[in-house]
């Protein structure tokens, strides 16, 4: 593996954060699953395509891509050794023989030039230290007029804002934007287009999409999952009593979204598509 330049990401995803996401991959996949329809509609994968899945994690999107590209090949790349180990095991259990997983930093990984027809990512491209260099490297891996399609987080609507405002009431130092922050604000469509343009992409389009993400079976379970798993890196220094109050307040804020044995919270993203030129 080429020495990674995104060192903070390397340390996080091969440390406690990677362990948490591996352990809770089923729940996290369930949360993200409604986004997949948007991603794969934008990617337009054909059955003979060669596909690169950037920041593939435990491989849910890689496996979906492999089923679309059943006569092609799919490569999933991620920094996290524990997540990739699980990804490979699940792919083998599902008899998906057209998948390869590689551990590497997509910003500097030596991809073969012009190898892929399409590159995809579900929230795995937002935290590069040098996003222009990273996307230029990804672009070189694509054939002429190859396709790029990815989802990245967008500022949520009023409902999402009100829910997370309950956390900052009890945890005023909480900064949900600064954790693992990279070299560009990918909630800003203008910055996304600028990064991709500087990296040599053409036909760049950003489209807002929304979907319902399932946080848990009930409000208290959803609040617990957010604080103990997904946002654990943000709140690790909080005092136990403060965290308990935040958990109860968050559960109360989530309760209006609880119906049919699930808490479904509106989520907002950008679907970004482009061509390699």
Low-confidence ranges of the chain (pLDDT < 70): 157, 175-183
User: Residue 205 class from Cβ within 10 Å (0-12 exposed, 13-18 middle, 19+ buried)?
Assistant: middle
**Model's pTM, two decimal places?**
0.93
Please list, in sequence order, all residues whose beta carbon lies within 8 angstroms of the beta carbon of residue 130, skipping any fewer than 6 positions away.
5, 107, 183
What pLDDT was estimated at residue 55? 97
Q: What is the pLDDT of residues 166-184, one digit of tens each?
A: 888 888 777 655 444 566 8
Q: What is the pLDDT of residues 61-79, one digit of tens each?
A: 999 999 999 999 999 999 9
What pLDDT was estimated at residue 76? 98
H/E stretch holding 9 reads helix 7-13
Domains and CATH numbers, the chain: 7-155+180-212+267-275 (3.40.50.150)
What pLDDT was estimated at residue 176? 58
Please list, in sequence order, all residues whose beta carbon lies within 8 angstroms of the beta carbon of residue 239, skipping any fewer than 6 positions away.
none
Q: What is the pLDDT of residues 130-180, one digit of tens each?
A: 999 999 999 999 999 999 999 999 987 677 778 888 888 888 777 655 444
Euclidean distance between the first and final Cα of the chain, in Å? 28
């Amino acid at each position: 593996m080429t020495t990674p330049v995104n060192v903070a990401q390397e340390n996080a995803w091969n440390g406690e954060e990677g362990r948490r996401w591996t352990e809770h991959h089923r729940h996290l996949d369930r949360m993200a699953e409604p986004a997949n329809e948007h991603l794969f509609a934008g990617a337009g994968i054909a059955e003979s395509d060669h596909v690169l899945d950037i920041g593939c994690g435990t491989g849910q999107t890689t496996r979906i891509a492999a089923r679309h590209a059943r006569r092609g090949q799919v490569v999933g790349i991620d920094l996290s050794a524990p997540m990739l180990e699980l990804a490979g095991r699940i792919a083998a259990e599902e008899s998906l023989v057209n998948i390869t997983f590689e551990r590497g930093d997509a910003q500097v990984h030596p991809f073969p030039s012009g190898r892929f027809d399409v590159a995809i990512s579900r929230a795995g491209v937002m935290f590069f230290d040098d996003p222009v260099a990273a996307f230029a490297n990804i672009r070189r891996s694509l054939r002429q007029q190859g396709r790029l399609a990815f989802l990245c987080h967008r500022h949520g609507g009023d409902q999402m804002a009100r829910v997370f405002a309950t956390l900052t009431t009890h945890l005023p130092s909480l900064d949900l934007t600064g954790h693992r922050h990279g070299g560009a604000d990918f909630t800003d469509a203008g910055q996304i287009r600028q990064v991709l343009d500087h990296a040599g992409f053409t036909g760049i389009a950003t489209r807002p999409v929304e979907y319902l993400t399932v946080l848990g079976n009930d409000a208290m379970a959803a609040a617990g999952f957010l604080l103990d798993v997904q946002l654990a890196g943000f709140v690790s220094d909080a005092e136990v009593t403060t965290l308990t109050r935040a958990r109860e307040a968050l559960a109360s804020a989530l309760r209006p979204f609880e119906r049919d044995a699930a808490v479904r919270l509106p989520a907002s993203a950008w679907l970004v598509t482009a061509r390699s030129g």
